[in-house]
Amino acid sequence: MQTQTIEELIPQLKVQILERLIIEGMDPEELDEDMPLFGEVTGLDSIDALELVVMLEKCYGIKITDAKVARKILMTVRTIAEYVYEHREI
Amino acid sequence: MLTDQTIAGCHINGAGVISPQKTYDNGDFLSELTYYDDNILTCILPNFKDYLNPFQMRRLSRMLRMGLSAATICLREAGLKKPDAIITATGFGFQWDMGKFLTEILEQQEQQLTPTYFMQSTHNALSGLIALFFKCMGYNSTYTSRGFAFETALHDALLLLQEKEAQHVLVGSFDEVYHVQYTDYVRLGYIKREKVNNIRVFEAETEGTLQGEGMAFFIMSDQPKPQTWCRLKNLHMVYRPSDYAGLAAELIEFLRGNGVAPSDVDVLVNGVSGDVVRDRWNLDLQNKYFDHATAVRFKHLTGEYDTAASFGLWLGAKILKTQTVPEAALVSPSPTHGPLKTALVCNHYLGKYYSFFLLTL
Amino acid sequence: MNRRVFITGYGVITAIGGNGPENFASLRDRKCGYGRLEFLETRYQDDIYCCEIKLSDEALCRRACVSTGCGFTRTTLLGLIAIREAIASAGLTDQEVRNAGLVSATTAGGIRELERHFFERQDLQSSGDFITFLDTVDPGEHMERLADILGMKRYLATVSTACSSSANALLLGARLIKTGLADYMICGGTEALAKITINGFNALMILDREHCKPFDQNRCGLNLGEGAAYLVLEAEESLKRSGKKAIAELTGYANFNDAFHQTASSPEGAGALKAMRKALNMGGINPSDVDYINAHGTGTENNDLSEGLALETLFGVNVPPFSSTKPYTGHTTSAAGSVEAAFCLMAFENDVIYPNINFKQPMEELNIRPTTALKTNAGLKNILTNSLGFGGSTTSLLFAKC
């Protein structure tokens, strides 16, 4: 299992998020790690959240089965990185 | 089928068509042709970025991007911010997304599935997305009546206008090429086994046609406008006519009920598909009743699919609007060269679903 | 033209009964069709509950009086069984059936059969059982089968608007009669369970691992079901000619779109509110004249909140008794609208209001609660039923007792 720090995970997650959500024409660095992912700016919705849940399972072996839990984890890129750091299986 | 005399017609005030020919530009009319050699005709796409930004496009399948673009082209053409109602039609829906979801289910033992594929595979995903995009809370439905899907949608739009439930109805059809359907249809003899160049499909004289795809959106309105293309006076559907005589009788009665004789038809848009077996009756109708008219056909340009009649509607409407007949579609010009005021689209799908659209200026 | 539309018959098959009387007995006796899957293979067999019809495809063929090996999909078989019951219950002659229009709804169509041989059939050289199912995937195929068996040609349509499909089929049929285009319409829908549906709803995280609890604070999703139901709609004039007695009149209907999200309903249920309001306006009645509401009530967090708020906004705290019958039958997706419309007709016939099973704790956001007891001698005159689907579809139907 990889042992990346949270700061190392952040840029990696940005790429993975944009890929999973098929957001084309956006530089990963443009995605602010502390900006709410599901707010007015991005317009991401509950299906995007589910897609990110699948991505977390595929890339890090993390299984999230509760939609409420998912919402808390997926608030920002940083909160995702923190969760991955604690709970990754691969 | 149901007698349609009580249905009032409507005005076609805009269109947006994406097809295996370059048709998304309303300023052009089949000036360049695209050729296909492997019996599968796929759409020539506009630049989606002209209609959608990266966040709006995220996760959207090719068909949904096409659908939003075609709807936008159509609404812009009609000068409308949003329609009052949205009705879509498809035969097979979103086959790629359904297939991708099913493949994941089978290969990944029902785990780590992509919810987007499922969501985007429901047949009304496009009509829902258009409603979302244009914030239209009005009547919204999707028909999947095989070779009558587009006709059902058009008929419903006419009904809505007559009921005064809407003034502008966005009606659109979509179907996509898909290898699983292609293989099934080759087995069934609906698609030719031998490879034929699309432009030469009518010379092949064999059973079966070519697989095609396309998207066609129209604004059907209760009032004419300066940009009106033409009027859709009425439509008629005939399911499994028992014989040619029965089909011909339905056509004549349909025309008569709308105050039209075959000799009044200036343009015949024939939905023959290159299937020598199933095209028979459409050819007989053309030869018997319309040899005075300008005859055009279109399935060599689009291939065949459940909702291909929509392309025929577009072709007939655009001929009337522009008073020009594109060389690419022309079978035979009329011996008399008068103004083109009345067009009749005669379509069939697999020799089972026959439909007529009557268009006037 | 503005003709009145009457219902003279119906047929229904679900996990709680193979016909109308069986379904009603189960509703009355609180017998639910909830259990483990037997006829569909999935890794979730021991994990989720569904309301599956406990009849194999072969048994359904026998009930539908068709041979096996002829490519009848389970969706079509269910439809055939229900439509025949509807025709018999309305006392339609063969000629009347041939003169009728058909609007049938499904979204799944033949995908259950496609799933079984998806990879094999892609190889042109291969052969097998799937050959009989070659042209059965698309939703419209079942419409063709029903039409060909019944000799119907006058008007054929298939609706696919996900969970509101068969409600929209009824709505279209009514409009065709109202405007004088038809005297008889047979309308409804059918849907068989499929792996794609189960996995789709599971991927959206809206399946309850236990028995669903509509409108309950602790609800966490739906149970999927399968079934079919058809109603026979007749114009007033043809009713007068035949002297038949109708069960109910379809006095109001409405179709709107929530335009909020591709699968979720708006938080305040704007689309549902518009649909219910318009149906009542069309029926010429006030909210206080409604005696019972058969809610869509799937048991998902989102639907029940959205629909609940819409009900409260329209009816206030004095909402009429309302319940969801989905704990009985599961969510029969495309068939739900017509199945629940059939239940409304049974409610009129027996003057009964169905309980909302599994309700224990009221939702914090709502001041209204569903009805939890079976009510007999209910004095029903007007019933409203809702069907809300993916793609923002919101449809309401209003029936008046005859």
Confidence band of A59 (pLDDT split at 50, 70, 90)? very high
Residue B239 lies in a domain: yes
Torsion of CA C317, C322, C326, C327, to 10 degrees: 80
Tens digit of each residue's pLDDT (9 = 90 or more) over C20-35? 999 999 999 999 999 9
**Contacts B140 to C, Cβ<8 Å:** 161, 255-257, 391-393
**Contacts B125 to C, Cβ<8 Å:** 262, 390-391
User: Terminal CA-to-CA distance of chain A, rounded, Å?
Assistant: 5
Closest by CA to B347, choosing from B289, B293, B286, is B286
Residue B133 lies in a domain: yes
Judgement on whether residues B121 and B20 belong to the same structural domain of the protein: yes
Tokens 């055939």 belong to which residue?
A: C80
A50 and C262 within 8 Å at the Cβ level: the answer is: no
Judgement on whether residues B200 and B272 belong to the same structural domain of the protein: no
Inform me whether the pLDDT recorded for B113 exceeds 60. yes
Tens digit of each residue's pLDDT (9 = 90 or more) over C143-175? 999 999 999 999 999 999 999 999 999 999 999
Q: What is the CATH number of the domain that holds B14?
A: 3.40.47.10
Judgement on whether residues B209 and B256 belong to the same structural domain of the protein: no
What's the one-letter identity of residue C114?
A: L
Q: Are B256 and B46 in contact (CB under 8 A)?
A: no
Residue B3 lies in a domain: no
Give the domain-ending residue among B186, B221, B256.
Answer: B221
How many angstroms separate the Cα of B236 from the Cα of each of A75, B216, C172? 54, 19, 17
Greatest C-alpha distance within chain C = 66
Judgement on whether residues B124 and B143 belong to the same structural domain of the protein: yes
Percentage of chain C with pLDDT > 70? 100
C261 and A65 within 8 Å at the Cβ level: the answer is: no
Which residues contact residue C203 at a Cβ distance below 8 angstroms, ignoring those fewer than 6 apart? A50, A54, B113, B114, B115, B118
pLDDT at B55: 80
CATH node for A6-87: 1.10.1200.10
Which residue of chain A is at minimal alpha-carbon distance from C263? A47
Least confident window among B73-82, B301-310, B350-359, C260-269: C260-269
Chains touching A, CB cut-off 8 Å, 3+ pairs:
B, C
For residues C280-293, average pLDDT: 98
**Contacts C166 to B, Cβ<8 Å:** none
User: Is the confidence metric ipTM above 0.90 for this complex?
Assistant: yes
For chain C, domains (ranges, CATH) are 5-242 (3.40.47.10), 253-401 (3.40.47.10)
Judgement on whether residues B188 and B240 belong to the same structural domain of the protein: no
Residue C261, chain A, CB below 8 Å: the answer is yes
Inform me whether the pLDDT recorded for B3 exceeds 70. no
- CA B359, CA B261: separation in Å to the nearest integer? 13
Which residue of chain C is at minimal alpha-carbon distance from A67? C205
Q: Are C170 and C230 in contact (CB under 8 A)?
A: no
Which residues contact residue B243 at a Cβ distance below 8 angstroms, ignoring those fewer than 6 apart? none
Q: Are C19 and C229 in contact (CB under 8 A)?
A: no
Domain of residue B284, residue span = 230-360
Tens digit of each residue's pLDDT (9 = 90 or more) over B213-269? 999 999 999 999 999 999 999 999 999 999 999 999 999 999 999 999 999 999 999
Residue B2 lies in a domain: no
For residues C54-79, average pLDDT: 97
Confidence band of B2 (pLDDT split at 50, 70, 90)? low
Judgement on whether residues B36 and B106 belong to the same structural domain of the protein: yes
pLDDT at A45: 87
Q: What are phi and psi of B40, to 5 degrees?
A: -125, 125
Domain ranges of chain A: 6-87
**Mean pLDDT of all residues belonging to chain B:** 96
Residue B1 lies in a domain: no
Judgement on whether residues B132 and B274 belong to the same structural domain of the protein: no
- CA C344, CA C291: separation in Å to the nearest integer? 11
Q: What are phi and psi of C180, to 5 degrees?
A: 85, 10
Percentage of chain A with pLDDT > 90? 68
Inform me whether the pLDDT recorded for B292 exceeds 60. yes
pLDDT at A24: 86
Least confident window among A43-47, A77-81, B286-290, C344-348: A43-47
**Contacts C156 to B, Cβ<8 Å:** 145, 148, 237, 239
Give the domain-ending residue among B221, B255, B287.
Answer: B221
For residues C189-197, average pLDDT: 98
Judgement on whether residues B204 and B243 belong to the same structural domain of the protein: no
For residues A1-21, average pLDDT: 92
Residues 23-62, chain A, touching B (beta carbon < 8 A): 23-26, 42-43, 47-48, 50-51, 54, 57-58
**Domains: count for chain B:** 2
Judgement on whether residues B165 and B288 belong to the same structural domain of the protein: no
Residue B42, chain A, CB below 8 Å: the answer is no
Residue B70 lies in a domain: yes
Judgement on whether residues B110 and B140 belong to the same structural domain of the protein: yes
Confidence band of B343 (pLDDT split at 50, 70, 90)? very high
Which residues contact residue A32 at a Cβ distance below 8 angstroms, ignoring those fewer than 6 apart? A77
Residue B253 lies in a domain: yes
C262 and A47 within 8 Å at the Cβ level: the answer is: yes
DSSP type of residue B111: -
pLDDT at A68: 83
pLDDT at B6: 57
What would the two tokens of residue A39 be? 């707010």
Inform me whether the pLDDT recorded for C368 exceeds 70. yes
- CA C220, CA C76: separation in Å to the nearest integer? 31
Tens digit of each residue's pLDDT (9 = 90 or more) over C221-241? 999 999 999 999 999 999 998
Inform me whether the pLDDT recorded for B1 exceeds 90. no
Give the domain-ending residue among B202, B221, B240.
Answer: B221
Tens digit of each residue's pLDDT (9 = 90 or more) over B17-68? 999 999 999 999 999 999 999 999 999 999 999 999 888 888 899 999 999 9
Judgement on whether residues B196 and B319 belong to the same structural domain of the protein: no
Confidence band of B4 (pLDDT split at 50, 70, 90)? low
B59 and A58 within 8 Å at the Cβ level: the answer is: no
Judgement on whether residues B197 and B281 belong to the same structural domain of the protein: no
Catalytic residues of C, by residue number, are 163, 296, 331
Inform me whether the pLDDT recorded for C255 exceeds 90. yes
- CA A69, CA A53: separation in Å to the nearest integer? 10
For residues A15-36, average pLDDT: 91
pLDDT at A42: 74
- Rg, C-alpha atoms of chain C: 20
Inform me whether the pLDDT recorded for A1 exceeds 70. no
